[in-house]
Amino acid sequence: MALTIETLMSKMPGAFVPEKAPGLTAVIQFKFTGAEAGDWYADIKDGKVSITKGVHPTPKMTLTADSSDYLKIFTGELDGMKAFMEGKLKLTGDLNLAMKLTQMFKIR
């Protein structure tokens, strides 16, 4: 079965590593374009993360990417830093949070 944005977002709470985000309280907005366009946000607090479909009024960071590119970044087919440098991944807000993002979620 092919990985979809919906499946990926539903798996994020289980992939969260609270030890990598001690004391962190933040909302990360995801804006996907392309085949699986949509808005989601991750609310991180008290060592847990909840995922909600929609737009948060005050995210700490916003990540914008084509849905297929983001799936490739998540599965390791596309390097996140390379995608950022090539403009395939856009970040606004707290960029330090973006650097922690890959450590806070265990992939695979």
Model pLDDT for residues 56-87, shown as the tens digit of each residue: 999 999 999 999 999 998 888 998 889 999 99
pLDDT tens figures, 35-44: 999 999 999 9
Within the chain, what is the greatest distance between any pair of CA atoms? 36
Check if the beta carbon of residue 71 is closer than 8 Å to that of residue 87: no
Give the residue extent of every domain in the chain.
5-104
Q: What token pair was written down for 61? A: 């960071």
Considering the entire predicted model, what is its pTM? Answer: 0.93
Amino acid at 9: M
CATH of 5-104, one of 3.40.50.300, 3.40.50.10490, 3.30.1050.10, 3.40.50.720: 3.30.1050.10
Check if the beta carbon of residue 40 is closer than 8 Å to that of residue 9: yes
How far is Cα 87 from Cα 26, in angstroms, rounded to an integer?
A: 24
Write down the pLDDT at residue 85: 94
Q: What token pair was written down for 18? A: 């609270």
